[in-house]
Structure 1
Amino acid sequence: MPFIRVSYLEQQYESHQLKRISQTIMEALIAHFNVPVDDCFQVFHAHKREEFVYSRNYLNVERSDGLLFIQITCKSGRTTEQKTSLYKTLATKLSTTLPMRKEDVFVVLVDTEFEDWSFGNGVAQMLQRTTEEV
């Protein structure tokens, strides 16, 4: 049930590259977070230069205008190992398949609980699933 937001500087990536970014993120989530194949909800945002602000060298990581902000909102409970392996996989695979720089893969996870999700119809489907399983 992850919800993915990818932000980037406009005109940095073409549509076929965005498709590959989407696929790579999904493959990594399936592999490291055991996300179902059909659980895909992603939005991509291209930003004007004045809307896209970042430190070029925070924590000694040299970033370029090819920077991707990847925000993954998902259910809490993943281990540190799962999270760090996800980060590594995303940086490695995106750098080889696009290609792009590993330094430009910025990932942030936002943990939520089942009651924080409605997939439509005004219903908290994940809450219903957990009570049905009990």
Structure 2
Amino acid sequence: MFNMFKSQSSLDLTPRNCLVVSLLYCMGSDGELDPEELGHLMSVLGRNTTRQQLDALLRYARSTPPQQFLADAGPRLRPDQRLCIILNMIDSAMADGEAEPGEQRLIMEFAQSFGLSEADLNPYFRTLVAKNDRAVLDR
């Protein structure tokens, strides 16, 4: 019974959970999560994931400021995991063509916290822009 009062900050910050929480912050920066975004998050978590697991991550993201998450998660992640998370955030933000200003600020805050500069990310960013520019297929 007393588990109901347990803090959400006790979430196990595995690298995959960190990716999902980061994407939740990014997707939620426009104020809403649509069903397609939730479906994408379920696929990121893996096919054996339950809705309850996603709900726990949603509760965590809603109750934990990004700065606290970064302070808790950053030291647990390897450099390659940090880069993976940032690139997934960029790809998610650009999925509809252009990252919103709030998404851009959040991504740069995460990148700086993870020790990645804009110069570090530029080659990856150009690749993601090319990947998402499907208009070239109609020219």
TM range (shorter): 0.3 to 0.5
Relative to its length, the structure with more helix (as a share) is 2
TM-score, length-normalised on structure 2? 0.34
Relative to its length, the structure with more strand (as a share) is 1
TM-score, length-normalised on structure 1? 0.35
